[in-house]
Amino acid sequence: MFYKENNCFHPIEFDFSETLPEQFTYPFYYTPHPLCIKAADDIKAYLNSQTDFEHNFGLDKEKQGIKIGKMFGVMIVENAEKQLGYLTAFSGKLAESNHLKGFVPPIYDTLNKDGFYKQNEIYVNQLTLKIETLEQNPELEKAKIHLEQTKIQGVLKLEAFKTNAKAQKQKRKQRRVEAEQQLSASEKVAFLETLKQQSIQSNIDLKYLKLNLEAAITNAEKVLKELIQPIETLKLERKTLSASLQKRIHEQYQFLNANGESKDLITIFKATDLGKPPAAAGECAAPKLFQYAYENNLKPIAMAEFYWGISPTKEVRKHGQFYPSCRSRCEPILGHMMQGLDVEPNPIELAGVFKGELEIIYEDDFLLVLNKPNEFLSVPGKTIKDSVLTRMQSYLPDATGPLLLHRLDMSTSGLLLVAKNERTHKKLQKQFIERTIKKRYVAVLEGELQTKEGVIDLPLRVDLNNRPRQLVCYEHGKKAKTKFEVVEVYNNKTRIHFYPISGRTHQLRVHAAHHKGLNMPIVGDDLYGTVSNRLHLHAETLSFEHPVKKEWASFSCEAPF
């Protein structure tokens, strides 16, 4: 039961007929242990009824203010008396606070009024106020406008002078022609000298005009610079102070592991591709749970994290559902903090093993169509080399060209098209580019979809903080469109056909799960839904024009679910 007290250890009842996990949870891919589910249910019940703090999770439509969902974590631990209990934590801050009774504290409290961060933050805010005041000075805007107008007027004056000079030059040319015909030799010499002097004077006038215009611009720039310089000085001071503060904060985040070793954020992230801590590193629920356990001599047994609140705009996050720890911020930190613990192996590294023969649906001298099994890679990964591509390279040692025309997610099964030579590949690739190749996927969704058919149009991009997950992003995402038709609704499930109009990574999975899509994840989707025996997504039909026979070819392979 969740107790609202300063002691963050919450005893939990354990039926000893059950078994505790032999290894600690691998936090980036897991099925929640029953004890974790029980602990999470305690927290969920508390969140549903609590009156201790005010935070708008977006679950009450009548509630005003910014709606923000939160990740919560629970960790089953054992104390020195061999008693089981659980710890709980929230990501970031909650109700504008880092400390709430019953929840573990942050590793470093940036909200502590007596801490160096808050003290320096006051000065940083004062600098910002000074900068904003100077930037709002009416004289600054006048100086900017004056400089811009001076430049524009300079261009206009220069163009007008050159236009006039060109016209005068043309007149002098005409007068020279007339002088040749009308004037005597002595008169002509004097007249041509006059014209020459006029030409010289025009060049002198142009030179002085340019100098005057440049001087006017220089003066306008000087006035503007004198107004901007104090702002830039303050901004540099603020930037330098902020960087210094950030470094000091990163040094304050000291993370323990089961061996009693401590490392700060800078040291942990120095060895990563990023090279430095990302924003909010160390503020997630998981590191807080580990830190409190180690500091209080509690043995970590299992862990799980769940989302509470309204679905965010970009990510696929559903109220009350369990999710893995984030990778960009937490993976390096937890990699250190779990040292000394016996942790479950990474299931991803064990996946992708298929010992059978690939099922070839059709084959001729130019191409073949095969049925890729689920949990098998289309192309080699970082650690797993066995894949459809490597199998095909062995099966077709004399083939030329890239072989595969398209890919399927590792968890997706179904039809894949293979070209045996480069010419065939190019012709088929053209059909993919022109979208004349027809594909149909069958899937089973979690829930009963009321809409019978439609089109989902949600642009996608990779989640840089949590690869390989994808985000819905209207600003930087690539266009992604999917047509769908419901086949059958039964037992709180929906069997559906998907017709991808574009081909983005995880397109069907995100379009199904995202709240702006169908809001129903595909059964067994371990990234955007919940784990099951497999991902219920299968590339069922594939139709195209045979590049040599010039006949329309259609192939199908029944889904194994």
Mean pLDDT across 308-328: 94
CA distance 525 to 420: 33
Residue 274: pLDDT over 80: yes
Tokens of 216: 């006017």
pLDDT for residue 5? 61
pLDDT for residue 53? 94
CA distance 339 to 349: 19
Which parts of 253-298 fold into alpha helices (H)? 265-270, 285-295
Mean pLDDT across 482-503: 97
CA distance 552 to 549: 9
Taking the CB of residue 83, how many other CB atoms lie within 10 A of it? 12
Which parts of 459-542 fold into alpha helices (H)? 507-513
Residue 394: pLDDT over 90: yes
Average pLDDT, the chain: 94
pLDDT for residue 363? 97
Which has the higher per-residue pLDDT, 119 or 165?
165
CA distance 332 to 416: 36
Instruction: List the catalytic residue out of 409, 463, 525, 526.
Output: 409
Q: For residue 168, give Cα distances in angstroms to 165, 202, 429, 451.
A: 5, 9, 64, 77
Burial of 46 (0-12, 13-18, 19+ CB in 10 A): middle
- Report yes or no: 313 and 66 within 8 Å, Cβ to Cβ: no
Instruction: Encode pLDDT of 467-480 as tens digits.
Output: 889 999 999 999 99
Nearest to 308 by CA among 36, 104, 76, 41: 41
Mean pLDDT across 152-174: 95
pLDDT for residue 271? 86
- Report yes or no: 268 and 336 within 8 Å, Cβ to Cβ: yes
Residue 23: pLDDT over 70: yes
pLDDT for residue 7? 82
- Residue 343 has φ and ψ, to the nearest 5°, of -105, 145
pLDDT for residue 70? 97
Architecture of domain 351-556: 2-Layer Sandwich (3.30)
pLDDT for residue 467? 84
Which has the higher per-residue pLDDT, 350 or 142?
142
- Report yes or no: 247 and 325 within 8 Å, Cβ to Cβ: no
Quick one: what percent of the chain has pLDDT higher than 70?
A: 98
Give catalytic status of residue 409 as yes or no. yes
Identify the band that residue 3 occupies on the pLDDT scale cut at 50, 70 and 90. low
pLDDT for residue 112? 85
pLDDT for residue 373? 96
**Residue ranges covered by each domain of the chain:** 10-108+254-347, 134-249, 351-556
pLDDT for residue 212? 96
The overall pTM is greater than 0.85: no
Instruction: Encode pLDDT of 54-107 as tens digits.
Output: 999 999 888 888 999 999 999 999 999 999 999 999 999 999 999 999 999 999
